A and B are shown apart, each in its own frame.
Chain A
Amino acid sequence: MFALVDCNNFYVSCERLFRPELRDKPVVVLSNNDGCVISRSDEAKTLGISMTAPWFSIQNIVKTHQVAAFSSNYTLYADMSARVMTNLARFTPHVEVYSIDECFLGLNDFKYKDLDSYGKEIRETVVRNTGIPISIGIAPSKTLAKLANRLAKRAQVHVLDTAEKISSAVNEFPVQDIWGIGRAYARKLNSAGILTAGDFRNKPLEWVRKNFTIQGVRLWYELWGRSCLPLSQSSDRRKAVCTSRQFGKLTDNYKDIEEAAAVYTTRLAEKLREDNSCASLLSVRLATNPNRKELPQYFKTITIPLAYPLNNTPDLIKYALFGLKKIYVSGYKFSKVEVAASGLIPEQEIQLNIFHPDPGLKKNKLSKLMDKLNNYYGRGTLRTAAEGFEQAWAMRRNYLSPAYTTNWSDIIKVG
């Protein structure tokens, strides 16, 4: 049996944990740069605020109903997510953290337990320990567990453990809401007269084989309660790493863009070192905002082969700025710079280049020291001068909540 644990309105729940007065109030969390709604409370949903609604378009509702809005505080969400996932992992060693707010659990060790009360026990423990509300779907396959989770929202724990329960669930369940069914697939299915998960499951396997790929066949089995998708525990080493963000405002100031590129490269280098990999290719991409059709558009990418695979901050910044200089042209309002590393090689397997005898060992040491200090004192404490001081281009985060759990100066004061 599998359980799919899902944190309800996760980002909103994180904000509410430290702002209890918002427990029954409409709350939304905005995407990076305060662009659009990416998480909303049930109250906000009732007000008609849709997911991905642009922030400017809901100003009226926000003012009339005093909706609380937050910029996304990923530092806080990452910490709370780690706390939720660790609490879950204490129940079973078979865990697949699927996303920041979802987790599959393998429950085969608990065959003889009453799964409904076990689910409730998991739920109560996590809610008490983290303050984040969760709902749990339990079923014989991952696809059905995901489906059960959708049905759990109100009851909080939903178990599909008999053939009858499964059939009545799938017969009601819209086919486009099944896990892994994309929009194109859904259209194809709908036009074949398949509207519910039950309709799909009732087609003969031969028909599925003929009309769909192996994924369709797996899905068919999964819906019948035969598990085809095992838990995948370790995510593979990343193949490429990319950091980019929209600027807070459009800019044509080369200095601003250069600073932004340096900051993203720094973060990129940190990611590489976390993974113990080195990049052999570095790409820089500069782009205007494609939605501002009235402005002249410019998109350009440059990929730079590095003399030897590396992951130290100063060298990567040097190459990134070199690339940026090559592709920058004045006269455009840029909205975004992107820095990506590819051709990743494990740190221990680097082959030295005969023409570049110094593989930057000193700089590697320096970078590792910077990581340590920044880890302890908070990101950005020690940085290269290229990153600048004012960072006028920085993304908008006008409604950012404190880092309650990761910064000593942000912990809550009590009377």
Chain B
Amino acid sequence: MLRKAETEISDLEPLEDPGKVSGFQSPADDYREDRLDIRERLIADPVNTYYFEADSDEMELFGIKKGTVLIVDRSLRPEGGRLVIVWNEGRWLVRQLISLPKQWLFSTGRENEQLVPFNEKKGMLIWGVVTWSCSPQIEKKKQSKNKKPDVRPR
């Protein structure tokens, strides 16, 4: 199932409706709109979206480093230039797809690299198309092994 919005955690939102007033009616009442939710930008199709996490810096030229969360949409078709999740000889990889007239290749974007050709007969598989990558910019505390947010009020 899709995860409930983070904002539903009652620790962070102790007021059910912060706009509800007991005294003067709020002059802003008619102008209230829903607060921005990052999911609206990141996820076009929640039903067909899956998440992966980068485990290396192989794709750092694309801004993907160890710890980057990759948003993957299976409903999109793989096309040249797109980043894709690849199953290759027992390993999961994220690579850029390069489309030549008769061949698909996988690249890390580095110069002079050996491009890996897509070969279905070898059991290779394109699993899905990466739509966004999200990298943490605040160093994670060492103890927080489970990647769940700390919701205690500060």
A residues with CB within 8 A of B? 20-21, 23, 78-79, 82-83, 86-87, 125, 128-131, 369, 372-373, 375-377, 404-406, 408-409, 411-415
Contact = CB atoms under 8 A, between A and B. Distances in A.
A211 B69 CA distance: 64
A414 B52 CA distance: 7
A414 B93 contact: yes
B10 A415 contact: no
A250 B122 CA distance: 47
B52 A412 contact: yes
B146 A409 contact: yes
Which has the most chain A C-beta neighbours within 10 Å: B58, B75, B77?
Answer: B75
Interface string B76-94: 0100000001010011111
Contacts of A21: 87, 90, 123
A139 to B, nearest CB: 28
A376 B1 CA distance: 11
Contact of B53 (A20, A131, A406, A413): A413
Question: When A and B form their complex, which 10 residue pairs have the shortest distance between CB atoms, in order from nearest?
Answer: A413-B55, A414-B92, A20-B87, A129-B48, A86-B47, A129-B75, A414-B94, A411-B51, A415-B56, A408-B147
Nearest to A24: B123
Interface size of B as a range: 35 or more
Nearest to B125: A20
23 contacts: A20-B123, A20-B127, A21-B87, A21-B90, A82-B1, A128-B74, A131-B127, A376-B3, A376-B8, A406-B1, A408-B148, A409-B147, A411-B52, A412-B52, A413-B55, A413-B92, A414-B53, A414-B55, A414-B70, A414-B85, A415-B56, A415-B92, A415-B94
A262 B56 CA distance: 43
Nearest to A23: B123
A131 B74 contact: yes
B15 interface: no
Given A21-B123, A82-B1, A376-B4, A411 B53 contact: yes
Nearest to A375: B4
B4 A83 contact: no
Interface in B1-54: 1, 3-4, 6, 8-10, 47-48, 50-54
A86 B70 CA distance: 23
Given A129-B75, A413-B54, A414-B85, A408 B9 contact: no
Given A129-B75, A130-B48, A415-B58, A372 B148 contact: no
Contacts of B55: 413-415
Contacts of B127: 20, 131
The A interface is mostly helix, strand or loop, or mixed, namely helix
B89 to A, nearest CB: 9
A129 B1 contact: no
A163 B47 CA distance: 38
A132 B77 CA distance: 16
Contacts of A87: 47-48
B115 to A, nearest CB: 16
Contacts of A406: 1
A411 B6 CA distance: 18
A408 B48 CA distance: 17
A373 to B, nearest CB: 8
Contacts of B145: 409
B8 A372 contact: yes
Nearest to A127: B74
Contacts of A23: 123
A408 B85 contact: no
B144 to A, nearest CB: 11
A120 to B, nearest CB: 17
Nearest to A413: B55
A128 B73 CA distance: 10
A369 B10 CA distance: 8
B148 A377 contact: yes
Given A20-B87, A406-B1, A408-B146, A83 B47 contact: yes
Contact of A405 (B50, B54, B77): B50
A408 B145 CA distance: 11
Contacts of B10: 369, 372
Contacts of B58: 415
A20 B91 CA distance: 10
Contacts of A405: 50-51
A324 to B, nearest CB: 32
